[in-house]
Structures are given as structure tokens and as C-alpha cells.
Structure 1
Amino acid sequence: MSEVDVNQMELPVVDARTQDRITDEQAQFFLDNGFLVIRNVVVGEELSLIQAEMMKLYEKGVNGASDDNDFMYGKGVKSGQSVLKRVEYVIDKSDPMKVLLGHPFILRSVEKLQGPNFIPTWDSMVLKAPNEGIVVPWHRDAAVPDGCEDKHPIFNVDFYLDQADLSTCLWVIPGSNKWSKEAYEERCKRPGFSTEEAIPVPMQPGDVIFHDIEVLHGSPDGDGNPLRRTVYYEFRPGEIEAGFGPHTLEYLSLKQNMLLDCIERRKQAAYTQGENAYAYRPNGGFAIREPKKPQQYRYAHEQYWRR
């Protein structure tokens, strides 16, 4: 996409308060550009609960959870000291995060893009510590497996818990999800955090970005930045996972049952009453014939890699 196209780009207006899933036109924008912004997904009591829960995890990490491998650190840009940058498996660590996984707008939209056999995979909180925002260089999260001709996208759902202004927000390069490996590698080798061809994506608490794992994105380091917490839930089409991995078939079944449990939890939550709950009905070889109560909510990826 040329610089002129980027400068003239108009983002679709997607508001979770006025629709129950993304539209065909919004889905096409995502497929074409590799990202989609959705406003007002998490609001009211649910937003307050999640913000409080994730603040507890942030404070735990800041106060020295370095012996827990789920808490990851980087070098602060101002102090040079160890700074919390990521927390893994947040669904396991918080009941409101389990309820969030069952969000009906999100799941209906995931199904629209991936089909009914989608699988929840990664769940993490990524953050920029106050005044210590660590640069996130231009990157792709992953690559679609070699030989995969399935056109359904693999993507993250990014829930913003804090305002992200120009000092902390994500930058994306629209359409780079369709770039060749060579074009992607050339762009990432450019020195510094160049915003050529890119657009910033400011966000408010409760807003969401869908971003394709192959779209180029990143963020500059912070300069007096406030705290910015973003929760990432990744979803993958079951057909791609079953055919190419990286997880075993056992993992897929475990995560399907975990998703069913989280949907039921959402139905019971006091702050979700009146919602039109999502019905998860995977089909064919992915059909769930005997749902099982999950024994845990932390299925460590390395224990389920294909050998």
C-alpha cells in the first residue's frame, strides 16, 4: 500500500453496542488490511473488574514474581532496570478473564472469520510500564504454516484496558498481512522504528483490535508514557491446527472444553445478564460429543507441541 493510500485511509466504524458481530464489509476490511478496530466491547462493571484483576497481576510482577516463568521482563528504556513486559496464561489466573473468553460479540465475529471450528490458543497480557515503555520492533506474530492453503485467517483479539495514545499505541502497516516473506524481512531490517507506510491506532479502555498474525505491527518506546495493558486472546481455525499444528489434537479438545466452560461461566456472571449468549457448535471431526469439565485452565504450549 502506498503512503498516499495510508494517509487517506478511513477505518470502519465498528461499535459492539449497536451490532452483535462484525458485518460482511467489516470482515472484508480485516481480510484486506490485516486489522480491525472495534469500539466499546468491554464496558461498565466488566471493564472495571478486568482492570482491577490485571492490576493485581501487574503489581505481582512489579513486586518480584521473577521466579514465575509466566511473568516476563525486559530492560526499561529510562532506568535500564528489569521491567515487567508480559504475563502469560491470564485466563488461568483470573475468573473475570475466563468470563471474557465467552464474550458473544467476539466469538460470533471469530466464527464469521474462521468458521465454527475455531480454537482459542494463546492468552497473555502485554504491557508498557509507566515511563519505561519498551520498544516493540516491527514484526509478525507468526507465519501461516508452509503448505497451508486454508484462507481463514489466524489472528489475535487485543483487549485494551488503558488508553493508548500516540505515545503508547500500536502501529500497523495495512495490507502487510499479504506481503511476501522477502518484503516483510526487508521492512523489519530498516533501522529505528520507522512509521513509513504505517498508521497509528489510538484506543480507549474496552476497545478491541483484531490483528492478523502476519500483519506487520509494533510500537515505539515510551517517553513519559502511562501504564498500558493489553490482553491478547489468539484464535486459530481448527482445520489449520489439525492439519499443521503446532499443537497436538489432544490440545485442541482440551481447549474446546475450556471454551465451553468459559461460555457457561459468562452466562452465570451477574454483569452479563441479558446478553444473547454465544453457542459454540463445532462440526465434523471437531464436534464435541461429550463435553468435559476442564481440570485446569493453563495448558502449557510446550507440553502439547507436535514432535
Structure 2
Amino acid sequence: MGLANVIIPVVDARVQDAISDEQAQFFLDNGFLVIRNVVVGEELRLVQDEMQKLYDKGVAGNDGDPDYMYGIGVKSGQQILRRIEYVIDKSDPMKALLAHPFILRSVEKLQGRNLIPTWDSMVLKAPDEGVIVPWHRDAAVPAGCTDTRPIFNVDFYLDEADLKTCLWVIPGSNKWTKAESDARCAQPGFTTEDAIPVPMQPGDVIFHNIEVLHGSPEGDGNPLRRTVYYEFRPGEIEAEFGPHTLEYLANKQHVLLDCIERRKAAAYSQDETPYAYKPTGAFAISSPKQPEQYRYAHEFYWRR
């Protein structure tokens, strides 16, 4: 499909309960989907304020907390905050955000009822110090997996992303072979002749497949851009191939159930129809339990 033929559908979370069949097919074909007006009003303000606190902590110094990650700023050459892991653990509004019903219904449409939340982070471009993100895939579908359901990230934008800070994607590259992907990523510089920019407003969301090629140029006078990433995987794929253990999957299911209950209690969610998480088969939950924690560190649950 040529770039001239890529017509990005208009998806507005204010007027839909979930993505449509046609919008789901666009995502499957192209590897990304833009959804407008997902986080609005009081919730958007709360989430922005909470993530600003984490950003400020990371800029001021974090007492050696490994969840705060840094890169070299393009202007100063100094260590610049670029990523914060486990944001659900660090903020109650981020717990409620995980349970956003439009998002979960849409994830279920693409992955099925046994969806698992597997990752939560905030990725940053610091003001005037945006670190280049070269062309890349987030990960690969496990070798030997024939299940065609997508593994993908849900990217919540907390700030405007203009052409200086926005994500660029290569539509359809989620279907490329590894050799094709590697060859494109090996090209020098951040070239965009086969890519499209995806400008965003605060509260908008991108679904992006872990195998779609994407990246962003370095900042030059860029404002702060904060993006929260929640990754989801079909439980059946994760159970068979990993990388996490089955214990991790069960823990994260109880985290999701807890977050759904938290969202029901939030003042800004009272007009919503809550998402009903009803996993089946080996993933069915007979008795929900309070999570022991919200930071199940990946390194303790990798398969050996």
C-alpha cells in the first residue's frame, strides 16, 4: 500500500464505545491506529499532574531509583530523563487509566477476552533536549507463533506532539520480514520518505503494533512531550511463548481487576459503562484477590 493510499480513519472515543470493525482492520493492516479524545476533563488534568510529579522527581534526582532512565541530551550533552518504568505502581490515577473502558473493549476486540496488561512506562522528550528515537520495532512476535492476533502498545499522549516531537510510522511494516525490517533500520539518519507523521493532542491515543517500524527525530526547540505506554498481549500467546511466567500473568490479571474497581469509584467515570473483564478457559478467575503489589518487576518473572 502506497503512502498516498493510507487514509487514517477518524476514531473519536467520545462518540464510540470501542473501535469499529473497519478501524480494527486498519490497525491490523497498517500496524497503528489513532484514537482522539480518550482522556478528557478532570481525568486528563489528574494524569498530567501526576506524571509531572514523576518527571520533576526524575529531573531533580531520584536517589538511584532504577525505574528512572536517562539518555544524552542533544543540546546539553548531559544526562536527560527519557523514561520512567512502572507508572501504575507510582500513581492511583494511572491505575484507573489502565481500566479505561473504551481502551479495554478495543483491546479485547483485537486480542480476545484473555487480554493481559504486560508493561507500563512513561516515555519522555525533555524540553529542547529531545533524544532521537531511531527506526525500530519494539519487539518481535515469538518465533514459532502462528497466532495472528496482534501484540501492541497503547500510547496515551499527555502533551501535544507536533512535527518536532511526534511519532513517525511506516504503515504496513508490521507485516515485513525481519530482513526487511533490519535493512530499513540500518539506513543512515532518520529518513521519512516512506513514513508518515502522527501529530497528537493531549488525551489522544495511538495503538501501535510491536512490529511496526516507528521512531522520532531529535528535538530542536521542542516542548516537553510525555507519553504513557501500556502494553497488552493475548494471554494464550504469552502463556505458550512468554517471555513472562504464568505466575506473572495471573498477578497482572488481578492488577487489572483491581484497577477496574478503582475506576468505578472515580468521580470522573460515573457516566461510563465499566469494562467487564471475563477471561475464559485457563485464564478464568474464580475469586479476585487484592494484588500484593503493582510493581511486578519483569526480571523476576522471565522464563529461564
Q: Which category describes the TM-score, using the shorter chain as reference length?
A: over 0.9
Q: Helix, strand or coil for the counterpart of 1:224?
A: coil
Map of 2:293 onto structure 1: 296
Q: Spell out, residue by residue over 1:233-279, the C-alpha distance to the aligned partner (whole angstroms, 9 max, x if none).
A: 00000000000000000001000000000000000011111110000
RMSD of aligned Cα (Å): 0.6
Map of 2:187 onto structure 1: 190
**2:289, 2:68 → 1: CA distance?**
29
Matched pairs, number: 304
The AA in structure 2 aligned to 1:87 is I
The alpha carbon displacement at 1:9 in A equals 2.2
Q: Helix, strand or coil for the counterpart of 1:144?
A: coil
Alignment of 1:258-273 (within 5 A): 258-273=255-270
**1:81, 1:303 → 2: CA distance?**
31
**1:39, 1:186 → 2: CA distance?**
33
Q: Helix, strand or coil for the counterpart of 1:257?
A: helix
| 2:173 paired with 1:176 | yes
Q: Spell out, residue by residue over 1:91-130, the C-alpha distance to the aligned partner (whole angstroms, 9 max, x if none).
A: 0000000000000000000000000001001100001000
| 2:87 paired with 1:90 | yes
The alpha carbon displacement at 1:8 in A equals 4.1
Q: Spell out, residue by residue over 1:144-186, the C-alpha distance to the aligned partner (whole angstroms, 9 max, x if none).
A: 0000000110000000000000000000000000000000000
The AA in structure 2 aligned to 1:189 is A
1:215 to 212, 220, 227: 212
8 Å contact kept, 1:66–1:72: no
Q: Helix, strand or coil for the counterpart of 1:211?
A: strand
The AA in structure 1 aligned to 2:4 is N
**1:253, 1:292 → 2: CA distance?**
11
Alignment of 1:211-250 (within 5 A): 211-250=208-247
| 2:47 paired with 1:50 | yes
The alpha carbon displacement at 1:7 in A equals 3.2
**1:66, 1:171 → 2: CA distance?**
34
**2:147, 2:181 → 1: CA distance?**
21
8 Å contact kept, 1:15–1:41: yes
Q: Spell out, residue by residue over 1:31-50, the C-alpha distance to the aligned partner (whole angstroms, 9 max, x if none).
A: 00000000000000000000
The alpha carbon displacement at 1:198 in A equals 0.2
Q: Helix, strand or coil for the counterpart of 1:258?
A: helix
Unaligned runs of 5+ in 2: none
Q: Helix, strand or coil for the counterpart of 2:206?
A: strand
The AA in structure 2 aligned to 1:191 is P
| 2:133 paired with 1:136 | yes
| Structure-1-length-normalised TM-score | 0.98
| 2:200 paired with 1:206 | no
Map of 1:121 onto structure 2: 118
| 2:278 paired with 1:281 | yes
**2:30, 2:6 → 1: CA distance?**
11
- 1:66/1:84 Cα in 2 relative to 1: closer, same or farther (>3 Å)? farther
Map of 2:161 onto structure 1: 164
**2:240, 2:234 → 1: CA distance?**
10
**1:205, 1:8 → 2: CA distance?**
27
| 2:70 paired with 1:68 | no
Overall identity of the aligned pairs, in %: 77
The alpha carbon displacement at 1:66 in A equals 5.6
User: Where do 4+ consecutive residues of structure 1 move more than 6 Å?
Assistant: none
Unaligned runs of 5+ in 1: none
**2:4, 2:160 → 1: CA distance?**
23
| Structure-2-length-normalised TM-score | 0.99
8 Å contact kept, 1:261–1:294: yes
| 2:33 paired with 1:36 | yes
The alpha carbon displacement at 1:295 in A equals 1.1
